Amino acid sequence: MNQDEIRDRLQSAAGCELEMRTSRGGDIVIDLTPERLVAAVAALATEDGPAHLSAITSFVEGSDAILLYHFWLGLGLTLRVRCHAGSSTVPSLTPSLPAADWYEREAHDMLGICFAGHPNLAPLLLSPDWPGPPPLAGEEQAP
């Protein structure tokens, strides 16, 4: 897939114009709102199958959480989703893309983001008796 085809597919799934920029390292980055995510990822599928999801990165920016969905489609594509703190619920990709399963669980562990529709958001990495808060949510940690 090339850049133009990616943009066309995502724009028709999102129903609006989308801005593309390139990050250092070469990935194309596109911003999406949470409710457009599942349809956008579905639009990237080919006859070979769903898009190859490499990773989901999450971090805190101010009082918001940012989720980056990294795909490899012959070139690197990152979908950037902002969720506002307080209503940190993002639709889960797992029901349509099993690859997202543990990456979403990890984001839940590390930042406390909830993924609506995820079959099992149990702690993946943290000990079951971890008292909280989520380690990368920007608050002070219990040792």
Tokens encoding 126 = 């943290």
**Separation CA 53–CA 78 (nearest Å):** 10
Q: Does 127 engage in binding with other proteins (CB under 8 A)?
A: yes
Q: Does 42 engage in binding with other proteins (CB under 8 A)?
A: no
Q: Does 139 engage in binding with other proteins (CB under 8 A)?
A: no
Among 6, 53, 83, 113, binds other proteins (CB under 8 A): 53
**Separation CA 137–CA 129 (nearest Å):** 18
Q: Does 57 engage in binding with other proteins (CB under 8 A)?
A: yes
The reply to whether omega before 133 is within 30° of 0 (cis) is: yes
Least separation in angstroms between CB 36 and other proteins: 21
Burial of 92 (0-12, 13-18, 19+ CB in 10 A): buried
Q: Does 43 engage in binding with other proteins (CB under 8 A)?
A: no
Judged by CB under 8 A, the chain residues 63 through 122 that form the site for other proteins are 68, 70, 72, 74-76, 78, 97-99, 101-103, 110
Q: Tell me the CA distances in angstroms from 36 to 18, 50, 59, 62, 80, one per residue in order.
A: 12, 17, 20, 23, 11
Q: Which residues bind other proteins (CB under 8 A)?
A: 23-27, 48-50, 52-59, 68, 70, 72, 74-76, 78, 97-99, 101-103, 110, 123-130, 135-136, 141-143
